[in-house]
Structure 1
Amino acid sequence: MLKYILLRGLLAIAVAFTVSLAAFFLLNAATDPAQAIAGEDATQEVVETIRARYGLDQPLPVRYAQWLGGVLRGDFGESYYWHKPVAELVAERAGTTITLALSALFVTILIAIPLGAFAALNPNSWIDRVALGVAVSAQAVPNFWLGLIMIILFGVMMPIFPVSGDDTWRHFVLPAFVLGASSVPAVMRLTRTGLIEVMGADYIRTARSKGFRSGALLRRHALRNALLPVISVLAVQLGQKFGGSVITESIFAINGLGRLALESILGADIPTVQMLIFVFAIVFVAMNLVADILNAALDPRIRIG
């Protein structure tokens, strides 16, 4: 098991740094950082001065090696836009995004697992069709559209929740629902499929013959076994919430990492964008690693393979 974790961990680190390498070269190829800092009306002399000041006159491989060396030392560079250390910017807003991601995951669990359970207990019925319809609708609706609908319904027509900011728990209700809804289809379908398979197992039929009701079977036996693969999927979904928070945080004016990423892109703040991509990649890869470890712990055949 330890060897499996080490191998998966090394692979995860390699993937994260590959993402950072690709992002670094693509960001620097898409725009001239010196020109973006100086502004469109700046003279060539000013642009060249800024280029020399920030070391932008060096080759890209040298600059990437310097950035990577700084990351390994804990130095993430300085923001061109905010003129402060990138690590400080990330630390200031990380807590908000973590709160939003965990809240969204809670919404996913609260909606998807009961829907999947009801659909599995009533296969091919109207309940099953309604549950699948909700899943398909949630998958088809983009976050920005759902966010705007939530603002109109619960911020304008029925002003129940605040629609901007992150001061209290009430500010996270609507954005958590919007961000969590996108994960409902995958978790619901997996719960439904797992429960249908488990409910057809021999030990479930034996328990039914002994007089156990469907509710008791679901709570004591079926749900516990059917949710084992769902747990690992939820770990991956949590990692996706960080990258997916860009649109949601922008719509609801939440000062998290997602909004910081959008502001950095609009301000051509390459050091901040580069660091945020690296952070999102690390979180996503880490959650995938957690999912792999959970799968290996629950299914010994994976470790053997």
Structure 2
Amino acid sequence: MLRPVIRLARAAQPVAAHRTLFTESDTCVRVFNTIDQVRAWRREKTLLGQSIGFVPTMGALHRGHLDLVKASIAENDHTIVSIFVNPSQFAPHEDFGQYPRTVDSDVAKLTELRNSIQTDEQVHYTNEFAVFAPSVNEMYPSGIPLDVKEQVGAFIEVKGLSHQLEGSIRPHFFRGVATVVTKLLNIIQPDRAYFGQKDAQQCVVVSRLVADLHIPTAITIVPTTREANGLAMSSRNVYLTEESKDKSKVLYEALTSAQHMFRDTPNVTYGDIRKKVLDTIAASEFSIDVEYVSVSDKKTLIDYPLDEAVNKDDGCLISAAVRVPNKDGAKTRIIDNVLC
């Protein structure tokens, strides 16, 4: 089992002040706002030889996030969830200011999950839940303008995995993701961290980041959590009307139809696979704008040549990003993928 390497130069100090939603110690969720608080809590657990699972989020928690938390609970002594809308992964024209910030309701959801496990007679649960909800100043003490050209200081880039797919549309994005994930792993020093397969490129980038920088945290990828109609759960789904949510299922239908073609149809090319996604979306007659459809290598994320016959033994990642109508009459961006 991978464990963080922590130098214990002095005796552990008591955990700094934290707030809770409940006074009962066995049902509370600790909420830390500073790095010092988290490190003191982590130091206590290290001295006890206890493992920490970590779930990084930007808040607006939904069932997909809670599934990540459940995966952490199953494998670790304690679990900490970060709630931080990271400015360095937004461009000036993107929705940083409008991104939902719902810390109190997020903590309430985690508390409800904690209590539901606590009262389950089949589970002898003594783990602690903690939330790390820092300010922007806490995470970026030198400041962080949204314009990448104005940013100064230390940032992390994972070359070769960040410019394609999502990176082709949002070239700043994975620099911001890699930077904040490195900060959080350094602060928390978890044994394991949990990411959702919906953000497939993020999973590949973070896994490479951890390997290349020798960070002693095991990365666990959890399958995508979906709505009943197949739509991948996302915090941005709150922007969608019920009609748009229902019709947006076509993205998953398109990806799975291409997945079936890859697995079951002989003598097809990667171009045929991509065309299957596009044709399925077009046939839906839904007002949906396609940003990209990719059929790529699962490890390198490099697109396969469209005229090349598929290699079923190697598999592939079929991914797409689209924009669909939202409540404001504009369009919201959603992404999804399937593995072959």
| Pair in the same fold by TM > 0.5 | no
What TM-score, normalized by structure 2, do the two folds share?
Answer: 0.24
Structure with greater Cα Rg? 1
Q: Which has the higher contact order (CA 8 A, sep 6+)?
A: 1
The structure whose residues are more often helix, as a share, is 1
The normalised TM-score by structure 1 is 0.25
Of Structure 1 and Structure 2, the greater strand share is in 2
